[in-house]
Structure 1
Amino acid sequence: MAILRQTNYDRQVATWLILCAVVIFGMIILGGVTRLTDSGLSMVEWRPLMGIIPPLTEEAWLEVFEKYRQSPEYLQINRGMSLDAFKTIFMYEYLHRVLGRLIGVLFFFPMLYFGLRGRVRSGLMPKLWLLFLLGACQGLLGWYMVKSGLVDVPYVSQYRLAAHLGLAALIFAFMLWLIFELLAGRPAKGSTPHPLARWGLVMLGLVYLMILSGALVAGTNAGFAYSTWPLMGPSFIPPGLYSGDPAWLDAFEDITTIQFNHRIFAYLLFVLLHIFAIKLWRTGLGNRARVTAVLLLVVLWLQVIIGINTLLHHVPVILGAAHQGGAMLLLAVTLYAVFLLRRGTPGRS
């Protein structure tokens, strides 16, 4: 009876975490839209508590617009911008910040409820608190990123952007792992990880690094440099790669090198994930493993197609946002494959 009750509680907690994960996924996409519309520097103040209320009167709008007009972005890029145009970019950033606060509320209070009611399985509560702490750090990191574009140069640091997106992906993946554990139940006695699990972890790490590579592309606007594929301009290998001083710094700051690295990384990952999916299909772990292998290839191909079209169409907002969302889906499917391999329990299909 107690086992059945805990199983029911696990499903309740998992349902709540699924809702949180879906909202986080939307938050990541909205963050991409904010970046693609150059809206991230429209709010020059960080008011964690009072910032929930947007300007409601014309006088309030003029006040926040006047603060923006003192920023480097307005003075160097958007000088002469109308109030109506400012309202558009402001609302993207405002919604992004408000959604972040909503996620905090959506996570914190149900966590307290489930914890106080004794519905959280043993060992899970510290992980939930860690998730909450990571979420708080993400908010601070977001403002730290924005601040980099409010002084002198009106562009956020690509390093801080990569850290911000990287932490978001980490939180998303951590939450998904807890969901997988809650829904799958305790592993069978005597089960051991499948030998392919180690390769799965490598694939997961490479997908995560690919996401960080994409953040460097976004942070430097390297996606606009070459709108051709498979060539970059007239050749596959463009001139000027790693020509800086020091040369290694070009991997993080030279737009040609950054885009080239992102492409080569994508080709490598494309091949490796195909091999991994085939091996996953052949593991004998049941239908879940085979379905996951197929889903991995479907998401991978969609991500590649979206990425190529994003380049060819000069990074339109809808394709750029879809590409960022596709990266999160690829991370999620790869993570689930690793989960299945680490449980290593055949017949659970």
Structure 2
Amino acid sequence: MAVAAATENLPLVGSAARISAVKTWLYCLAGLVILMIAVGGATRLTGSGLSITEWKPVTGAIPPLSDGAWLAEFEKYRQISQYELLNKGMTVAEFKFIYAWEWGHRQLGRLIGLVFFLPLVWFWLRGAITGRLALALLGVGALGGLQAGIGWIMVASGLEPGMTAVAPIKLALHLTVAGIILALLVSIAAGLRPSAGAALRTPSKPVAPGLLLGLILLQIVLGGLVAGSKAGFTYNTWPLMDGAFVPPASVLFSVTPLIENFVDNLALVQLNHRLLAYLVVALAVWHAVHMRRRYAGSKTARRATALAGLTLAQMVLGIATLLLVVPLWAGLAHQVLAMLLLAMAVVHLRLT
């Protein structure tokens, strides 16, 4: 799997204390990324993502501090289609609520940047990070910078005339890149250990952990499309969709050109997310059973079992979110659990 391969056989830092410090830092960063994803989900579900209509990476850290400044920001928001078509008549107090979510999301991004680069420089100067490990972390940092740009491109897509939300495919890209950053951080952290302590691995590396990780990443892409197109607010029954397990082709492929159905057709977008969920759960359960039979009592078997449990819990939560028509708490829980599942899959692959 590419995520694990990108961080395989990195040079090990010196003492056990230094290794522990670097791992703690990386896992804290991973936690902040998950929090960032959760706040981003809340921003989307509260319709707050377009409340700040400009990208000011530095000066944007300071929110409006006076009534005049708030009125100026509100006036900018009143010029976009989301206000005209969805929120016309909104008060300044209501605008402050949605502004706070988007400002908090961007502010958390700035915090992650500081928590990444300041300790990176400190560890580097102390010799705790060298060689390929340093290059890998610089790559993660570059990807984080790219992610900020993708975030603005996503927001800008919702500021176009006639648009009331961001483009689904750009939201899916933004979410997927966040997931990749999380996966890289966890993979690097899980692989750091004293040079005298080799990881205990299975005699022959199974294919299932890498395949599971790939499918989970793909499911996150599909989940981003569901979120971006608001497909979760339709077909709110399970296991059937409008009375059928698989809707007819005339429904699934009603959009022209054909390829756009995979992004814009709510029925197909949701069906793809459902079907891949079944595949992920089936593979995870099979892998857990196989590992428990072949390596009974081992850490590998226990990790595989935990991973299977998480996939089942995520599917149940996804079904509940659908049946309840995506309440805020369920939507956020589903998104956060997806990231925890991704992190667990990375650790399982890294250590198996």
- Measured against aligned partners, the alpha-carbon deviations of 1:164-204 in whole angstroms (never above 9, x if no partner) come to 11110000000001110114756639x87754432221111
Q: Conserved in 1, the CA contact under 8 Å of 2:16 and 2:194?
A: no
Q: Which runs of 5+ in 1 are unaligned?
A: 342-349
| Residue from 331, 336, 339 that aligns with 1:325 | 336
Could you tell me which residue of structure 1 aligns to residue 6 of structure 2? Answer: none
2-structure distance, mates of 1:100, 1:42: 17
1-structure distance, mates of 2:306, 2:264: 35
Are positions 1:279 and 2:290 aligned together? yes
4+ runs deviating over 3 angstroms: 183-189, 191-197
Are positions 1:95 and 2:95 aligned together? no
Q: How does 1:132-143 map to 2 (within 5 A)?
A: 132-143=141-152
Are positions 1:247 and 2:258 aligned together? yes
- Measured against aligned partners, the alpha-carbon deviations of 1:186-229 in whole angstroms (never above 9, x if no partner) come to 6639x877544322211110010000000000010000011111
Instruction: Note the C-alpha offset of 1:241.
Output: 1.3
* RMSD after superposition: 2.0
- Measured against aligned partners, the alpha-carbon deviations of 1:27-54 in whole angstroms (never above 9, x if no partner) come to 0111111111111001001100001111
Q: 1:126 to 1:4 in 2, by over 3 A?
A: closer
Q: TM-score, normalised by structure 1?
A: 0.92
- Measured against aligned partners, the alpha-carbon deviations of 1:293-346 in whole angstroms (never above 9, x if no partner) come to 2211221122111101100111001100110111111111111111122xxxxx
Q: 1:184 to 1:271 in 2, by over 3 A?
A: farther
Q: Conserved in 1, the CA contact under 8 Å of 2:201 and 2:351?
A: no
Q: Percent identity?
A: 40
Q: Conserved in 2, the CA contact under 8 Å of 1:9 and 1:120?
A: no
Name the aligned partner's letter for residue 350 of structure 2. Answer: F
Are positions 1:256 and 2:267 aligned together? yes
Partner-residue secondary structure (3-state), 2:15: helix
- Measured against aligned partners, the alpha-carbon deviations of 1:60-105 in whole angstroms (never above 9, x if no partner) come to 1111001100111111211111111111111000000000000000
Report how many aligned residue pairs link the two structures. Answer: 338
Q: Conserved in 1, the CA contact under 8 Å of 2:14 and 2:194?
A: no
Q: 1:178 to 1:86 in 2, by over 3 A?
A: same
1-structure distance, mates of 2:140, 2:202: 25
Could you tell me which residue of structure 1 aligns to residue 5 of structure 2? Answer: none
- Measured against aligned partners, the alpha-carbon deviations of 1:242-264 in whole angstroms (never above 9, x if no partner) come to 23333342111101111111111
The farther-off stretch of 171-180 and 195-204 is 195-204
Could you tell me which residue of structure 1 aligns to residue 348 of structure 2? Answer: 337
Q: Which runs of 5+ in 2 are unaligned?
A: 1-11
Partner-residue secondary structure (3-state), 1:337: helix
1-structure distance, mates of 2:130, 2:20: 11
Q: How does 1:1-349 map to 2 (within 5 A)?
A: 6-152=15-161, 153-183=163-193, 188=198, 194-239=203-248, 240-284=251-295, 287-341=298-352
Q: Conserved in 2, the CA contact under 8 Å of 1:6 and 1:121?
A: no
Instruction: Note the C-alpha offset of 1:234.
Output: 2.2
2-structure distance, mates of 1:231, 1:212: 23
Q: TM-score, normalised by structure 2?
A: 0.91
2-structure distance, mates of 1:57, 1:183: 51
Partner-residue secondary structure (3-state), 2:190: helix
Partner-residue secondary structure (3-state), 1:123: helix
Instruction: Note the C-alpha offset of 1:233.
Output: 2.2
Instruction: Note the C-alpha offset of 1:124.
Output: 0.9
